[in-house]
Amino acid sequence: MKLRRTMLFMPGNNPGMLQTADTFGADSVIFDLEDAVALTEKDAARILVTEAMRTMNYGETEVVIRINPLSSPFAMTDIDKMARLKPDAILLPKATPEDMEILKKELERIEKEEGFESGTIKVHALVETAYGVETVYETIKSSNRIQAVLLGGEDLAADLAVKRTKDSEELFYARTKVVNACKALKVDAIDTPFTDTNDYEGLAGDSRKAKMLGFSGKLAINPRQIDTIHEVYSPTKQEINNALRVMAAKEEAEKEGLGVFSLDGKMVDLPIINRAIQTLEIAEMIGLLD
């Protein structure tokens, strides 16, 4: 299981950021060749990211590269150059099932050419159009390469012709639809960024709302947002203690040959046990278990 509490966007044409990407503590970094790079600099950004990835060691941080949308003149060259670097994943913007078909074929071709094992290069899908939301299940189903779906709320709100607000009510359908599809097909659901970088309370509130709906992480557009988001998506001391108690009670029950058992007067069934296991897994990855 990969921890993706935060995924931090980094402008692909900025050396200062590329060489410090792993110092901010984000679980994943996304080197952006799309929105953060001017049209005249797409070629320069591609080369810079290539050289950075060949030179820098990003440690445990997941490295994702956001290519340009397939509708742009840059995408095919992006895929051709970036896939060969074997990033942890390629992030496909404006993701749809049709675009995934094209991307799949390209990645297969490149893997063959480079002698990589088939399926090595993973994909993250950025769903940010009405059509993309409607077809998210098909998008994910189209390929085993997809490990995560990210929600792009800004572009989506524009496509829906609605105002983008802080409380994000306009994204409710998209959020729940994406989460559902992700859970059905067992991939990560990552929530849209919170764009007011000075409002930490708003960020925490938005992150909590998304967590409640089933997202396991959130996109970040500024390193300052990382601590706040991590606090929301990390299990609390209480949650960890409860999980430990559930597992301890389960062991007890098994010793006594009992199939079902109760804790604090409530029956503990499989969903609760699975949730406890997952909580402890995450806690261990973050280093919260002594």
The site for other proteins (CB under 8 A) is made up of 13-16, 19-20, 23-25, 43-44, 47-48, 50-52, 54-56, 222-224, 227, 287
CA distance 152 to 154: 6
CA distance 200 to 224: 9
User: Whole-number minimum distance, CB 115 to other proteins, in Å?
Assistant: 23
Task: Tell me whether residue 8 or residue 157 sits nearer to other proteins (CB atom).
Answer: 8
User: Whole-number minimum distance, CB 203 to other proteins, in Å?
Assistant: 15
CA distance 42 to 34: 8
User: Whole-number minimum distance, CB 81 to other proteins, in Å?
Assistant: 12
Query: Over 53-87, what HEC string results?
Result: HHHCCCCCCEEEEECCCCCCCCHHHHHHHHHCCCC
Contact present, 65 and 40 (Cβ < 8 Å): no
User: Whole-number minimum distance, CB 42 to other proteins, in Å?
Assistant: 11
Task: Tell me whether residue 51 or residue 167 sits nearer to other proteins (CB atom).
Answer: 51
Task: Tell me whether residue 97 or residue 193 sits nearer to other proteins (CB atom).
Answer: 193
User: Whole-number minimum distance, CB 225 to other proteins, in Å?
Assistant: 10
Task: Tell me whether residue 61 or residue 142 sits nearer to other proteins (CB atom).
Answer: 61
Task: Tell me whether residue 16 or residue 257 sits nearer to other proteins (CB atom).
Answer: 16
φ and ψ at 217, to 5 degrees? Answer: -170, 180
